[in-house]
Structure 1
Amino acid sequence: MLNNYLLNNDEHKGEHKMKKIASLLTLMLPLLLLFSAFAQAIDLDGSGSFTATGFYNLTGAEVVNGSAQGSSTPWMYQQWHCPCSIQNWEYAGVYEKSKGFRLDQESLFGLQLRKEFTPTLSVTGQFVMRAQNPNNGSSPSVDWLYASWSPAPDSPFTFQVGRLRIPLYYYSDYLYIGYSYPWVRPPPDVYGWPIYEYDGGNASYHIQLGKSAWTMNASVWTGNFKQTYDAYDTLIYDTNPTTESWKKMWGSYVSMTNGTFDVRAMAMEYRDTTTINNPGAPATTVVSNQFTRIEGLSANMDYQNWVVRGEIDRYQQQSTALGINNVYKYNLLGVGYKVGDFTPMLTHSQYTTVAQPIEAQKTNSIVVRWDFRPNTALKVQYDVNIDESQYPYKFFGNSHLLSVSLQGIF
């Protein structure tokens, strides 16, 4: 009884904090809209060497209906009252039909500070306050904190060291800057893993290809990251506090663009260790120093009024000796057309595992983006999620989700 009380009490406290942050973002909205009218960075020291830019997403959504294993009877999955819909795997952002329209799962405010010491040396930090952040609560998280150096102001080489976002996907660097992409959120069937940052360094090379309109950017990175009480593993799958670490990361990508077409190929590998900390019992090691590889390919087009987004990825963690066969395949394809300030877009996305029990989902969505003022967009999106998992229990299930989001930059 006491344990149940404490768990329920913690849940109520957590929901109260999330609602407070969502309310704060709503109150800040007039100020954010005012800032969004200015395209240039905010000069903090009068010389232009210390600047601030920011972004915000005020996102609300509601599960319209849902079912699982052929029944619409409400069910529980982990701590969630379903029908429900997961829309953020990294921070376990889940909408529950019983709770109606909610602003406290994906709303956020971010601030990026940049200090330029010389034309070739700078330090950048990105801090984000999220309405839903099981790891940090109501405290802002440090998403980025790194130093950049180039041999010369016009050098094609750039070197960075510190905490950075793992560039797994096309939109990895802009994942929480909603204004930068067509949707309310990039399709969660593709975007979302337990580890999303690394502490380490990278080197990049940028060059124009001859006299053509094409430019190429190539990058290599290496580092490590350990996430204690990882929300992805702890809340979505394992229930008990789970720690996951990715060590000896090595990755690279090459991207090419001519302003109309954009293609990108990525590959990375690392050693994965995941441990479930069982209260009152020895910890369970799910995988230990397990070799893992992720590969991805994206192709995009912005031609006249047409907008096309495509991405395909593969996650592979296998060991015949240990009986490990964790393979995920995931992809998306979206097609939109700009009509004045409006951009309607249709998108299909899906993911699936290859080993039993199968976990799989596919999503069809329609979104309309309205750029009604500079640096600000209002988006309305309707998702039809189809759960094709073959678990013996009810997973997140099928759902229809209606989302509305005001997103901007300043």
Structure 2
Amino acid sequence: MQQHSRSIKSALKPLCALLLAGAATSGMAQDFQLSGFATLAAGKVLSGSRDTPLFSYPCPCFIADYGHGALYGPRWSMKQESKVGVQGTYNITPDLSATAQVVARGVDGVKGYLEWAYLSYDATPSWTLQVGRKRLPIYYYSDFQDVGYAYTWLRPPTDIYGWEVVNYNGVNALYRGDWGGWAVKSNWFAGREDTRDNLMQRIYTDVPQDVTWKNIMGADLVLNRDWLTLRFNYIRNNVQVWDKAGGVRTQVVGDPSTGRNHERQTIYGATANIDYKNWLVRSEYSIFDRSSYSYKSKAYMFGVGHRFGNWTPMFTLTEYKERNEFDPDAVQRDRGRSLTLRYEIDHSSAVKFQLDQFFDRSGPGLDYVGNSKAISVSYDMVF
């Protein structure tokens, strides 16, 4: 997780202290719930077209997690995707609760970082108001992307799931209801996120960068009926990026000299998932539009699987492409395909095996990862 401002950390300390107090008081045990998840994963690149390092990453290489700057190289490694998370919720009153989640990742040196820290108030049976730090719901699996047990793949497809901001600090209103037999969930949110030495940008440049998404406003709508789940989302925000070459901080996205100190961004997404008998279909489409400086990206994934008792094989296709009129030779374009095999050990743990093939079709001006084939295995559990 990227570092964020001291003011945010200071504001969240009372919430964490409240959770710890609730856990430590035996008389309040019935008001405190503790849960967690863990992933022990290992992987390596079997072959690839790039034979020189990508900045600090040894190659041939394969991107396992854009948001946290995790790449597999030619040797077996466990740090890229192994993690453990613990979440606690303390019920202050029947309608008011406090939640915090700490996650330690191998790629971060197994240091614990605060991913979630928020207060929830049940205003009505249908509406919940929340304030604090949460995952930014860009994608269908965003809220539980760290919980490997929750999905079939070893990781959600990286052509879709990966951007420079993962969390946000702000407020949201969550709605749950029933519309003519459709189970409905909708989330309306606003906030911002400031990152220091952004982890995703390390894949693209050896110059440290700070990234800020401010004035975030968005909403999503999830509809479920029988075997079909649909999701639609919309987010808009302003983006600022600073280079820190030689210790000098220079703004590179947003130009104050022109009177515009940010660039506008709009995100659209749609998901359609099917769980019919033993068949499962997963599909998602996403657009990132920064038209104010002629940049736009589109990405999709489509996967089909089938459950055979405790075994679930799944095949997935992905694609990412972008355009940039200011620098058309440096655009990123790639495709991927993966074969996943999941074995359900019990109701709370699973083993997964995955083969990935990545096709780099980027422009000649982008120094990128190249083609690769990768293998990875994991043990996922919840508790």
- TM-score, normalization by structure 2: 0.88
Residue 247 of structure 1, CA deviation: 0.6
Long gaps (5+) in structure 1: 1-41, 69-73
Is 1:148 the counterpart of 2:123? The answer is no
Which residue of the other structure, out of 107, 110, 115, is the alignment partner of 2:90?
A: 115
Q: For 1:395-406, list aligned pairs within 5 A.
A: 395-406=368-379
Deviation, 1:259, is: 3.7
Asked if residue 216 in structure 1 is aligned to residue 184 in structure 2, the reply is yes
Matches within 5 A, 1:102-181: 102-133=77-108, 137-152=109-124, 155-181=125-151
Q: Are residues 1:283 and 2:265 paired? A: no
Residues in 2 aligned to 1:392 and 1:352: alpha-carbon distance in whole angstroms: 15
Give CA deviations for 1:156-182 in whole Å, capped at 9, x if unaligned: 001100001111000000111000011
Alpha carbons of 1:290 and 1:392: their partners in 2 closer, same or farther (altered >3 Å)? Answer: closer
Matches for 1:25-104 after TM superposition, within 5 Å: 45=26, 47-68=29-50, 74-97=51-74, 100-104=75-79
CA contact 1:255–1:263 (8 Å) conserved in 2: yes
- Residues of 1 paired with 2:68 and 2:253: CA distance? 21
1:97-118 deviations in Å (ceiling 9; x for gaps): 1xx1110111000000000112
Partner of residue 236 from structure 2, selected from 269, 275, 279: 269
In structure 2, C-alpha distance between the alignment counterparts of 1:142 and 1:259, rounded to whole Å: 36
| Cα drift, residue 354 of structure 1 | 1.7
Alignment CA distance shift 1:284-1:291 (3 Å): closer
SS of corresponding position for 1:48: helix
**2:312 aligned partner:** 343
Task: Report if the CA contact (8 A) 2:45-2:62 is conserved.
Answer: yes
Q: Compared with structure 1, are the counterparts of its residues 43 and 167 closer, same or farther at alpha carbon in structure 2 (3 Å cutoff)?
A: farther
Q: CA deviation at 1:47?
A: 3.9
**Is residue 2:225 matched to residue 1:255?**
no
The amino acid across from 2:262 in the alignment is N
Gaps of 5+ in 2: 1-22, 255-260
Distance 1:228 1:394, change over 3 A: closer
* 8 Å CA contact 2:332, 2:366 repeated in 1: no
Q: Which amino acid aligns with 1:270?
A: N
Q: Give the equivalent residue in structure 1 for 2:273.
A: 300
User: Within 2, Cα distance between the matches of 1:386 and 1:151?
Assistant: 49
SS in 1 for 2:30: coil
For 1:209 and 1:57, how far apart are their aligned partners in 2?
37
The answer to whether the Cα contact below 8 Å between 1:359 and 1:391 also exists between their aligned partners in 2 is: no
Q: Distance in 1 between matches of 2:230 and 2:104?
A: 32
- The 8 Å contact of residues 253 and 263 in structure 2, kept in 1 or not, is answered as no
Report the Cα distance in structure 2 between the residues aligned to 1:47 and 1:56, rounded to whole angstroms: 24
The Cα of 1:44 is off from its aligned counterpart by 8.1
Choose from 348, 355, 362 the match for 1:375.
Answer: 348
Partner of 2:165: 195
Whole-Å separation in 2 of the counterparts to 1:262 and 1:409: 23
- One-letter amino acid matched to 1:241: P
Q: CA deviation at 1:238?
A: 2.6
User: How far 1:304 moved relative to its partner?
Assistant: 0.3
Deviation at 1:394, TM superposition (A): 4.3
Aligned-pair distance for 1:48?
2.2
- Find the residue that maps to 1:132 and give its secondary structure: helix
Contact 1:238 1:276 in 2 (8 A): no
Alpha carbons 2:204, 2:368 under 8 Å: kept: no
SS in 2 for 1:82: coil
Q: Which amino acid aligns with 1:176?
A: D
Write the deviation string for residues 135-160 of structure 1: whole angstroms up to 9, x where unpaired.
Answer: xx4421110000000124xx100110
Structure 2 distance, partners of 1:56, 1:76, is 30
Can you list the C-alpha shifts for 1:111-139, whole angstroms capped at 9, x where unaligned?
00000112211000010000012xxx442
Q: 1:386 aligns with which of 359, 363, 368?
A: 359
> Match of 1:309, as an amino acid?
R
* d(CA) in 2 for partners of 1:81, 1:409: 32
1:232 CA drift (Å):
1.1
Deviation of 1:79 after TM superposition, in Å, equals: 1.5
Quote the Cα distance in structure 2 between the aligned partners of 1:227 and 1:282: 14
Secondary structure of the residue aligned to 2:157 is coil
Distance in 2 between the 1:202 and 1:119 partners?
Answer: 20
Q: If the length of structure 1 is used for normalisation, what is the TM-score?
A: 0.83
Contact 2:240 2:251 in 1 (8 A): no
The secondary structure found in structure 1 opposite 2:204 is: helix
Q: 1:409 to 1:308 in 2, by over 3 A?
A: same
CA contact under 8 A between 1:309 and 1:335: conserved in structure 2? yes
